[in-house]
Chain A
Amino acid sequence: EDQVTQSPEALRLQEGESSSLNCSYTVSGLRGLFWYRQDPGKGPEFLFTLYSAGEEKEKERLKATLTKKESFLHITAPKPEDSATYLCAGLGVIQGAQKLVFGQGTRLTINP
C-alpha cells in the first residue's frame, strides 16, 4: 500500500536555527514528490514538486531534495513567519488515475 511518513511530527526551533524535515515514501509508480505549507484553518499552499532523484529546488529559506526513498525539506535561518505545518505528498498512478498520498505533516514552530 502506498505510504508517506514524515518526521518529526513536531519541531520547535529558535529563529535562525537551521534544520531539516524528512519525508519517506513508498508510492507505486511515483510521478512526483510534492511539498506544501499549511497554516491553521487554511488549505495547503504549494511549495515544490520534485520529479527525480538528485533533484533540488529552492525558495527563499527553503530547499527541497529528493532521493529514491525520501525527500528532505531544509530550512535555513528560519524566521517566525516560517511557522506552519509542512506536508509532503507522493503522486502515484493507480489504474491510470493519479492521486496524491500525503504524510501526516510536520508542525514547525520558530520561536523569536
Chain B
Amino acid sequence: DTGVSQDPRHKITKRGQNVTFRCDPISEHNRLYWYRQTLGQGPEFLTYFQNEAQLEKSRLLSDRFSAERPKGSFSTLEIQRTEQGDSAMYLCASSLGFYSTSEAFFGQGTRLTVV
C-alpha cells in the first residue's frame, strides 16, 4: 500500500450531470476526510468519516453532495446536478487513530471541471 489513491484524476462533465469520485485510503486508516480546493486557496473541509460513520459535514456540503464509506474501507463522493461552481480539486485524506493526533496523508486529488 503506497498511499491514498483517488480515481479518476481528472473529470470533465456537463452542467447538470452527476459525478462520483472514489478514494481508497491507506490500509487500516480508520479516519477519512474529503476536502475541496479551488485555485489559490487552501483545502476546505467537506466531510469526515471514522470507520463507516460519517461524523461531520461542512456547511459547504449542499444537498447535492453525498459521501459514503461502506464497511469503513473506500469512500465515494457523489455530486448530483453539477454546477459550474463545483469546479475544483477534490482531495481525500486518511489517518490512523482514534483520539490521538496523527499525520493525515492526502491523495493526488480529482480535478473536476464543469462546463
Question: Do A and B come from the same complex?
Answer: yes
Residues of A within 8 A of B (CB): 4, 6, 31-32, 34, 36, 41-46, 49, 51, 87, 89, 91, 94-105
Decide: A99 and B45 in contact? CB cutoff 8 A: yes
Known contacts A42-B108, A103-B42: does B91 contact A97 (CB below 8 Å)?
A: no
> Mind listing 23 A-B residue pairs with CB under 8 Å?
A6-B42, A34-B104, A43-B4, A43-B106, A43-B107, A44-B43, A45-B106, A46-B103, A46-B104, A49-B101, A51-B101, A89-B43, A91-B104, A96-B55, A97-B55, A98-B31, A99-B45, A99-B48, A102-B35, A102-B44, A104-B40, A105-B40, A105-B41
| B53 to A, closest residue via Cβ | A97
Residues of B within 8 A of A31 (CB): 101
A28 nearest CB across to chain B (Å): 13
Residues of B that sit less than 8 Å from A by CB: 4, 6, 31, 33, 35, 40-45, 48, 50, 55-56, 91, 93, 101-109, 111
Contact status B55-A105, CB under 8 Å: no
The reply to whether A44 and B91 contact each other, CB–CB distance below 8 Å, is: yes
Q: Helix, strand, loop or mixed for chain A's interface?
A: strand
How many whole Å from A91's CB to the nearest CB in chain B? Answer: 6
A102 & B108 in contact (Cβ 8 Å cutoff): no
Chain B residues near A91 (CB-CB < 8 A): 101, 104
The answer, among B42, B55, B109, for a CB contact under 8 Å with A42, is B109
Chain B residues with CB under 8 A of A103: 42
